[in-house]
Structure 1
Amino acid sequence: MKVAVVMGGVSPEHQVSLASGRGIAKAVEILGHTAIPLVIDAKGNWIDGQHEAIEILQACDVTVPALHGEGGEDGTLQGFLNQLKVPYVGSGVAASAVGLDKHLTKAVLRAHGIAVTPGVTLSGPDLTDTEAAMQTIKAAGLDFPVFVKPGNGGSSYGVTRATDLTSLARAIADAADVDPHVLVEREMVGREIDLAVLQFPDSHVDTAPALEIHSDPTQPFFNATAKYDSSATRFVVPAPLEPALAERLRRTAIEVFEVLGCEGLARVDFFVPAEGAPVVNEINTFPGFTPASQFPRMWAAAGMSYADVVDTLLRTAVANG
C-alpha cells in the first residue's frame, strides 16, 4: 500500500508529532509498504503545498494522521480527509473533537455513569478575576491544591499545580494562553495507570496490559519535562494490579472508547486513589507514538511489536473504509 503519514502541526506538541510520524513511517516501510511523509509546519502550512498534499493524499491507500493536539487530533484533519474520501487511521471527527476537549469528554462520560476526575471549567471573566474564579471553584466543591489545565491540549503543556490564590492566578493565565476554556480539577493522590485500547480489523476492541507511571520525583507532577526529558521517570508495564482492579480498568477503558465513538486506537488514563474507585483522567485519541511512547510499550508487553501495532492500525483503517 501507499501510506501517507501526516505529522507536525500547529500545536505545542509539534516536535512530539514529528517523532511519532517518523517512527510510524519507518514501521510502514518495514511492513513492505511505501511511506509518504507529509509535514505540516508550526504555522499550519503543508511543507509540500496544500494542492500537492491533496493530490498525494488522494493517491494513497490510507493515511495516518500522526498529529497530536489542536489542528490534528481535534477532528480538523479528519474532516479534511473525509472530504477527500481518504481512509485514515483512528477516530472520526466527532470522537476526535470530543476526545481532545477535556470538559466535553468528562461531561459525556459523567452522563454515562463513568467516574471522572472532579473539576470545573472556567471561561470569560473567571479567567481574569481570581476571586471570581475561586468562588466558582469552591462552588464546585474544590479547594487547594488543584490542577489547572487548558480545556484542549496534551503533553501537559499549560498544566500547573496551584496551591494558593497567587499560583492559581498564574496557572489560569498560563492555561488560558493555550485555550480560552480552562479546567480546574481536584488533585488526585494515588496511582497513575494508563490503558492502551486497540481496534482490530474484525472490529473487536481490546486493551494491552496496563502501564503505571512513576514520575520523576524532582518534578512537581508528570509534566512535559518528566514525560520527555527525564531519565528518572519510570514506566512499569505490566502494572502490578490485583486481577479485579485490572479487569475493572480494562472494562472501563473499552467503555470509554465505545461511549465516545472512537475508532482505531486510544489511550485512556486513570487515577487510582488509595481509597475509593478509579477515575478517568483523560483520553488521547492519537497518543504519542514513538517507539518509546506508552502506547507501543503496552502492546509490546502483549507480544506485539511496534510494527505489528502499526500493521493492525492500517488494516483496521482499510477495513473501516
Structure 2
Amino acid sequence: MKKKKIVVLMGGPSSEHEVSLHTGMEVIKNLAAKKYEILPVVILRNRAWMFLPSRSFLSSAGAKTAPMKGGVTMRETSALEKVRREKSDITFLAVHGEFGEDGTIQKLLQAHGIPYTGSGVFASAVGMDKPKSAVLFREAGLSVPEFLVFSRNSWRSTPDRIIRAIAKKFSPSCVIKPADRGSSVGVHIVKVGRELRAALTDAFSYSHSVMAQEFVRGREITCGVLERADGSIFSLPPIEIIPKKGAYYDYASKYHKGGSEHVIPPRGIPKKTISAIQDASVAAHAVIGCGGYSRTDFILSEDGKLHTLEINTLPGMTQTSLLPEAARTAGIRFPDLLDSILIGSLRRAA
C-alpha cells in the first residue's frame, strides 16, 4: 500500500510556540512509518517556515526540544507554495494558540488548496473567540456563566467605568481573561477590588478584548469529542482536573510536571451527570461546527449544575494531553487516535 504523505505543521508566533513543538514531535514519533511519509515543518516565531528532515525527529526520542538542524527556511508565501507543490495528502495541524487556533493558518492553507486536520476557518475563529462561542453555546441550550466584554481602547480611556461595571455585576469575585487566547494565558480569578485593576491590565496585554465572567465555584471538568470514519461524532470519557500548582487550571498546572491530577472518570459523579457532560461536549462541538476533534471545558458547580466555559478546537496531542488521555481510557491507543484523525480529515478533504 502506498504511503500517505503527511506534513506535520508546528510552532507558530504565539506564546504557545513551545507547547506546539511538543505536540508536533509526539505526533511525528507516533505516526506509523510503514503508513506515512512525514514532512516536519516548523513555523518560527517570526512566521518564517523551516522544513526539516523527518529523520532528525524520528531519532530524537526523549528530546525536550525540537531538533532544528539541517532545516531549510522560507518566507511564508514561498513555504505555502512549496507545501502545495509537495502534493501531500494532508497537513496535520499542531499549531496552538493564536495563528494556529483562530482560523489564520486554516485560511492560509485553504487559500492555497492545502487540506488539513481539525476544524475549518469559521469554527476555529469562533471557537477561539470566547464571547462569540459563549453566545452559540447558549443558543444550543447550554448554561454559560454571565459575562461582560471590554475593548482595550475603552480600558485606556475609561478604566474606572469598566471596574465599576464589573464590580456591580460580579461582586465579590470574577474571572478576567483575554477573549481570544488559550492555555489560560492572562487568566485571573480575583476578588472585585484592589486585584481587579492589575488583572485587567495583564489580560489586556495579551488581547484587544477582555472578558469578565461570573466566577462559579465547583469542579473543573473537560470532555473530548472525536469524529468516526463515517463522519459521526462521539464523546470520550470526561476528565476531572484537580490543579496542584495553583487555585485553578492555569498555565503552570497545564504544562509543569505534577501541575495537576487528572481523574477519569470523575469520582462521585452520578452516571446521569456524566452523560449530561458528554452530551454537552457533543452539542458544543456541533454548534461551533468543529471538525475531527475538540475538547470542551466545564465547571460542575456545588449545586450540580453544569456550566460550559469554552471549547478547544485544536487540543494538545501529546501522549499526556487531556484528549489523548481520555481516548486511551476509552481503549484508543495514541497511534490509533492519530490514524482516526487523519482518516476523518482525508474523508472531509476528498
TM-score normalised to structure 2 length: 0.87
| CA distance in structure 2 between the partners assigned to 1:208 and 1:305 by the alignment | 13
Aligned to 1:242: 270
Aligned to 2:223: 195
Aligned to 2:113: 85
Aligned to 1:132: 161
1:22 paired to 2:25: yes
> What secondary structure does 2:314 align onto?
coil
Judge conservation of contact 1:211–1:238 (CA < 8 Å) in 2: yes
Aligned to 1:158: 186
| CA distance in structure 1 between the partners assigned to 2:79 and 2:285 by the alignment | 34
After superposition, the C-alpha distances for 1:279-315 in whole angstroms (9 at most, x for unaligned) are: 1111000011111110100000000011111000000
Structure 1 portions without partners, runs of 5+: none
Aligned to 1:221: 248
Structure 2 portions without partners, runs of 5+: 51-72
TM-aligned CA distance change 1:21 to 1:289, over 3 Å: same
Which structure has the bigger radius of gyration? Answer: 2
Deviation at 1:228, TM superposition (A): 1.1
Percentage of identical aligned residues: 30
After superposition, the C-alpha distances for 1:74-125 in whole angstroms (9 at most, x for unaligned) are: 1111111111222211100000000001111102212332211221111132
RMSD of aligned C-alpha atoms? 1.6
| CA distance in structure 2 between the partners assigned to 1:117 and 1:45 by the alignment | 40
| CA distance in structure 1 between the partners assigned to 2:285 and 2:271 by the alignment | 21
1:256 paired to 2:284: yes
After superposition, the C-alpha distances for 1:146-201 in whole angstroms (9 at most, x for unaligned) are: 11110111111111122143311111111111111001112211111110111112
Correspondent of 2:103 among 72, 75, 85: 75
> What secondary structure does 1:11 align onto?
coil
Structure 1 runs of 4+ off > 3 angstroms? Answer: 126-130
TM-aligned CA distance change 1:31 to 1:275, over 3 Å: farther
For these two proteins, the number of residue pairs brought into alignment is: 319
After superposition, the C-alpha distances for 1:21-46 in whole angstroms (9 at most, x for unaligned) are: 11111122456211211101112221
TM-aligned CA distance change 1:65 to 1:19, over 3 Å: same
Question: What amino acid maps onto 1:212 in structure 2?
Answer: E
Deviation at 1:53, TM superposition (A): 4.3
1:297 paired to 2:325: yes
Judge conservation of contact 2:140–2:284 (CA < 8 Å) in 1: no
| CA distance in structure 2 between the partners assigned to 1:249 and 1:43 by the alignment | 40
Aligned to 2:37: 34
Judge conservation of contact 2:80–2:109 (CA < 8 Å) in 1: no
1:148 paired to 2:176: yes
TM-score normalised to structure 1 length: 0.95
Question: What amino acid maps onto 1:184 in structure 2?
Answer: A
Aligned to 2:314: 286
